[in-house]
Amino acid sequence: MNAMPPTNSPIIAAFIAHTPGSAENYAAAQRLFPGGVTHDSRYVRPHPLAIARAEGARKWDVDGNEYVDYAGGHGALILGHAHPAVMARVAEQLARGTHYGANHALENRWAELIQELVPSAEMVRFTSSGTEATLMALRLARAATGRTKLLRLRGHFHGWHDHMAFGVTNHFDGTPTPGVLGALADNVVFVDPNDEAGLVALLDAEGADIAAAILEPTGASYGQAPLRPAFVRRLREETARRGIVLVFDEVVTGFRVARGGAQEELGIRPDLTTLAKILAGGLPGGAVVGTRDVLELLDPERAAARGVEKVQHQGTYNANPLSAAAGIATLEIIRDTDAVARCHAYAARLRAALNDVLAEESLNWAVYGAHTGIHVFVNPKGLAIGPRNFEPLSMGYAELKIPRGNQTVTKLLLAMRTRGVDFAPWPGGPASAAHTDEDLDRTVAAFRGAIRALREEREIA
């Protein structure tokens, strides 16, 4: 078991005193799981929260402490926790069985809703996660083009499989992270986000070998390092011209940036789109959607008619009935209500209110983002910026994506938690449609208190 290093930080001491049950849970977890966690981004010292229950925009830890939640189920819960309509559909399905090993009507309904909402979704193939969806999309692109290489943007995250494990938080030179084949990494080429000249030069040199270009269409880590729409348009034009399959990874942005995702907002049609998170309403699930031309490579008869071998794809939990039930309930609410718009409005109000706090406290940080995104830039290099004059597009991904484990960020997260707010670790969070004015007020008060605590122990000037 890892021992917690001794600390003279009142913020850390207060967090430890506030969350004894979470500490106890973590001690057991450390005996079971590497690092005591089951997802890299849940790792935080001295210990992560152990949550016992969640509802709406709130969750409660094992000590009974209440939090305004911005983890948002890693972005899966745009309607908040345990939405009654979603829970009712899942409960109804639970009574009818959890797995048929066969086709079922719910998967048709789920796919019809996707087709209705996502502009480029001519056909659908379900997977169990976003990682599986991007893996499938790349295989389809290679099969469709007969090419091997893959173009990615530095800092963009597409899940944890071998094609994607480097160039996100480190290894920006394209060398593989531990356990990943060098031969695979050799077939992945990178450009810097927003670098149109670099993009064209790379495509001129290697475009004929590139099967797919994949990106987070609003920028790395849900717009933490935003992309210019003009860059995305250029990428669409260049890939179309060169026969490269363009993959929008909308695992986060799907059903969130707009009902039909970033592609609806940008008015750009990718060849393939990967979906997960909101898609399955908080249960596990993902999908690759896109042109009939490419998706039909999974169809035994259509592939044979084209004289090619079909692309393989299995998956025990593809289109699982429980995920389908939660997904249908969620997508119907997104289609039929103003949930997405309310979520955008809350995020905009919260960003403005948090920037007011920064201005009042004379702190050279900034809170930025678009749609439902809230990104707190803690300005580790002390750049001459402030809450009222921050332009993230003028900065690179390397400045904006602050490495995990940054001490100021960790202390901010812990100080917020002690004050009843659980920010996502980047730090910030997606807003949900369940957040209320009261949640906003609590968040603002916690942010102000956390900043003052950081100042008191001279973590920030």
Ligand X SMILES: Cc1ncc(COP(=O)(O)O)c(C=O)c1O
* C-beta of 59 vs 163, nearer to ligand X: 163
DSSP string for 273-318: EEE-GGGGTTSS-EEEEE-HHHHGGG-HHHHHHTTSPPPP---TTT
Backbone φ, ψ for residue 135 (5° rounding)? -60, -45
Closer to ligand X by Cβ: residue 38 or 108: 38
Residue with Cβ nearer ligand X (136 or 454): 136
Closest CA to 214 of 273, 160, 260, 129: 273
Q: Is 159 in the site for ligand X (CB under 6 A)?
A: yes
* Binding-site member from 15, 26, 157, 390 for ligand X (CB under 6 A): 157
**For residues 266 and 249, is the Cβ–Cβ distance under 8 A?**
no
Residue 130 binds ligand X (CB under 6 A): yes
Of 132 and 296, CB closest to ligand X = 132
Nearer of residues 74 and 448 to ligand X, judged by Cβ: 74
Smallest distance, ligand X to C-beta of residue 201, A: 26
158 binds ligand X (CB under 6 A): yes
Q: Which is nearer to ligand X, 161 or 302 (CB)?
A: 161
Site membership for ligand X, residue 374 (CB under 6 A):
no
x/- map, 70-89, ligand X, by CB under 6 A: ----x---------------
The yes or no reply on residue 134 touching ligand X (CB under 6 A) is yes
How far is it between the farthest Cα atoms of the chain?
A: 71
According to CB under 6 A, which one of 44, 137, 276, 340 is a site residue for ligand X?
276
Per CB under 6 A, the segment of 155-163, 307-315, 327-335, 403-411 that binds ligand X is: 155-163
Whole-number Å distance between alpha carbons of 309 and 143: 9
What are the backbone dihedrals phi and psi of residue 4, each rounded to the nearest 5 degrees, phi first?
Answer: -75, 125
Cα dihedral angle (358, 363, 369, 370), rounded to 10 degrees? 40
User: At closest approach, how far in Å is the CB of 443 from ligand X?
Assistant: 22
Interface with ligand X includes 126 (CB under 6 A)?
no
CB 256 within 8 A of CB 342: no
Cα 407 off chain centre by = 23
Closest residue to ligand X: CB criterion: 130
Residues 234-273, mask of contacts with ligand X (x by CB under 6 A): ---------------x-xx---------------------
Q: Which value, to the nearest 10 degrees, does the dihedral of the CA atoms of residues 337, 340, 341, 347 take?
A: 140
Q: Does 166 interact with ligand X (rule: CB under 6 A)?
A: no
List the alpha helices (DSSP H) in 6-95.
Answer: 10-18, 20-32, 72-75, 84-94
- 1-9, 112-120, 125-133, 239-247 -> range binding ligand X (CB under 6 A): 125-133
> Minimum CB separation from ligand X for residue 41, in Å?
8
Torsion region of 129: left, alpha or beta (phi above 0 gives left; psi -120 to 50 gives alpha): beta
Closest separation in Å from C-beta 426 to ligand X:
11
Residues whose CB falls within 8 Å of the CB of residue 365, separated by 6 or more in sequence, listed in order: 358, 376, 377, 378, 379, 387
Which of 131, 145, 218, 432 is the binder for ligand X (CB under 6 A)? 131
**Of the two residues 57 and 165, which places its CB atom closer to ligand X in the complex?**
165
Cα–Cα distance, 264 to 261 (Å, whole number): 6
> In the Cβ-directed half-sphere of 209, how many Cα atoms lie within 13 Å?
9
Q: Which of 216, 238, 439, 459 binds ligand X (CB under 6 A)?
A: 216
296 forms part of the interface with ligand X (CB under 6 A):
no
User: Could you tell me how far CA 417 lies from the centroid of its own chain?
Assistant: 21
Q: Smallest distance from the beta carbon of 12 to ligand X, in angstroms?
A: 27
Q: Considering only residues 9, 19, 65, 129, which one is a binding residue for ligand X as defined by CB under 6 A?
A: 129
* Shortest Cβ 319–ligand X spacing (Å): 15
Q: How far, rounded to the nearest angstrom, does the alpha carbon of residue 391 sit from its chain's CA centroid?
A: 22
Please enumerate in sequence order all residues whose Cβ is within 8 A of that of 73, keeping only pairs 6 or more positions apart, or say none.
81, 277, 282
For residues 392-451, which are near ligand X according to CB under 6 A?
none
- Which spans of this chain sit near ligand X (rule: CB under 6 A)? 74, 129-131, 134, 157-159, 216, 249, 251-252, 276, 286
